[in-house]
Structure 1
Amino acid sequence: MVSAAIAISYLDRQTLPVAIKAIEKEIPLTNQQFSYLQSAFLLTYAFMYAGGGKLADILGTRRGFTVIMLFWSFACVSQGFALSFAMLAISRFLLGMGEGGGFPAATRAVTEWFPVKERATAMGIINGGTAVGAVAAPPLIAAILVFANWRWIFFLTGAIGALWTIWWRISYFVPNVEAGGEGQS
């Protein structure tokens, strides 16, 4: 489940670079502006590792990851409504803020679910989601562009994140390790 969230984050972040030619037909961008869009994402992404970790600590894994995923899904969708470079930049900035919390929340889930001796394996599986999302993005985005406007890429990837959130809310619980019994939400 957590690996799927990380795959979604890598799918989301690949939407702009893959769809840029289609976007430029409506929103002309220079190479410098494109680099600013990428930097807007990466800057907030880097800063939000600490912020996302703190959010997961305060809210707990279940609620924290829910907030993080919903935030980045809405930020992803907002790119589909962009009419200018500035609107795209704000959306990318917000996407970085949301996605920056993904790995800290994933790490927290691993510490709740796995004994110390199994955590490296669990994190390896979660990190495998990065490759799945990055590899799936180009052909998926190209296929969507054959049938729909570039805006739909952002609407669909945002919807995937929202659907994951429903799955997460229904399925995730904190195991009750000490009692060896059922977990709690």
Structure 2
Amino acid sequence: MHMENANSIQQNPTKKRFIIVICLFIGIFIAYLDIVNVSVLAANDPFLLEMGIKDTPVRIGMMMSVFLAAYGISNVVLSPIGDYLGPRKSMMLCIVLWTISLFIGGIATSFMLIIVSRIILGIGEGFYYPLQSVFIKNWFPKQERGRANAAWVVGQSVAPAIAMPFFAWLIGTHGWRMNFHVCLVLGLIPLYLLWRHVADTPRQAKGINAAELAHIEAGQEQAPASAEEKIPVAVRFKAFAGNYRYWLLVFWYLCLQCMYWGLITWLPSYLKTARGFS
């Protein structure tokens, strides 16, 4: 009887790793809602008048630029924190920063408070993004990582497509502050998912059986390193900094983001001012 149970476990592995991907998709989807919301505000006259930035495109552009600067810096500088806290705790910390940012934005009475809100959001979201890949590395064998990454990364494209019309309706119907309040509440969803359904590694997770664990670990280069075995940050940096393929990818992403961020930050303003949209 004991052998039959063991064989049954091997024949029917659990699917915990796919739950992890769903959680990552929801997290990045909501993160990109928070990114896009200000682009709609940039075309909203009541918001612009209250912040004193109506007809001042440079100051309006600052709302986008300070976020991007904070995002880019934290993406590189703060990522190693994930190696010490672990990706799960680090991502929860990021979401706490989002929450603080959105709360400040929702109560802001001056343009400078909006800028502070955007900087905090940039720090939290820039730090958050690379941690998603850590989960894929820890939870998926090599042959499944391409599809796993595709599954969660699509959230950053779906979110702006939904966010633009949704926030335009929300702000037009309930006012610009509701924009921040809704994003704040939505941000609690990935916080709950990380706390309740996610673990840093398969061996730390509940609800995973031996068959799935064996499948994951058999397809990895090596088992996820323990805290004592972690490679120093400087050593890991040298491993890619001298690789020309890495810098080609950096250049490719730079070109891509110029187009992508232009579309999701300035499109509402362009449609209103140049094309006469309401």
Q: TM-score with structure 1 length normalisation?
A: 0.90
Which deviations, in whole Å up to 9, do the C-alpha atoms of 1:73-119 show, x marking residues without a partner?
22122111111111111111111000001211101111111112221
Aligned to 1:83: 109
Q: CA deviation at 1:181?
A: 6.7
Aligned to 1:8: 30
Q: Counterparts of 1:132 and 1:76 in 2: how far apart (Å)?
A: 21
Q: Aligned with 1:100: secondary structure?
A: helix
Q: Counterparts of 1:10 and 1:163 in 2: how far apart (Å)?
A: 14
Q: CA deviation at 1:143?
A: 2.2
Q: Counterparts of 2:193 and 2:167 in 1: how far apart (Å)?
A: 23
Q: TM-score with structure 2 length normalisation?
A: 0.61
Aligned to 1:25: 49
Q: How do 1:30-179 residues align onto structure 2 when only pairs under 5 Å count?
A: 30-173=56-199, 174-176=201-203
Uncovered stretches (5+) of structure 2, i.e. residues with no partner: 1-22, 214-278
Which deviations, in whole Å up to 9, do the C-alpha atoms of 1:4-24 show, x marking residues without a partner?
111111110111111221411
Q: Counterparts of 2:78 and 2:163 in 1: how far apart (Å)?
A: 24
Q: Counterparts of 1:40 and 1:33 in 2: how far apart (Å)?
A: 11
Q: Counterparts of 1:33 and 1:67 in 2: how far apart (Å)?
A: 29
Q: Counterparts of 1:134 and 1:51 in 2: how far apart (Å)?
A: 26
What is the count of residue pairs matched by the alignment? 182
Uncovered stretches (5+) of structure 1, i.e. residues with no partner: none
The 1:182–1:172 alpha-carbon spacing in structure 2 relative to 1, beyond 3 Å, is farther
Of the two structures, which has the highest relative contact order with CA contacts closer than 8 Å and spacing of 6 or more? 1
Q: Is the 8 A contact 2:71 2:123 kept in 1?
A: yes
Q: Is the 8 A contact 1:52 1:102 kept in 2?
A: no
Q: Counterparts of 1:27 and 1:59 in 2: how far apart (Å)?
A: 38
Bigger radius of gyration among the two: 2
Q: Is the 8 A contact 1:52 1:68 kept in 2?
A: no
Q: Is the 8 A contact 1:52 1:105 kept in 2?
A: no
Q: Is the 8 A contact 1:107 1:123 kept in 2?
A: yes
Q: Counterparts of 1:73 and 1:121 in 2: how far apart (Å)?
A: 30
Structure 2 counterpart of 1:180, one-letter code: A
Which deviations, in whole Å up to 9, do the C-alpha atoms of 1:136-181 show, x marking residues without a partner?
111211221233121111111011112320122011123129x937
Q: Counterparts of 1:94 and 1:87 in 2: how far apart (Å)?
A: 11
Q: Counterparts of 2:120 and 2:98 in 1: how far apart (Å)?
A: 7
Aligned to 2:238: none
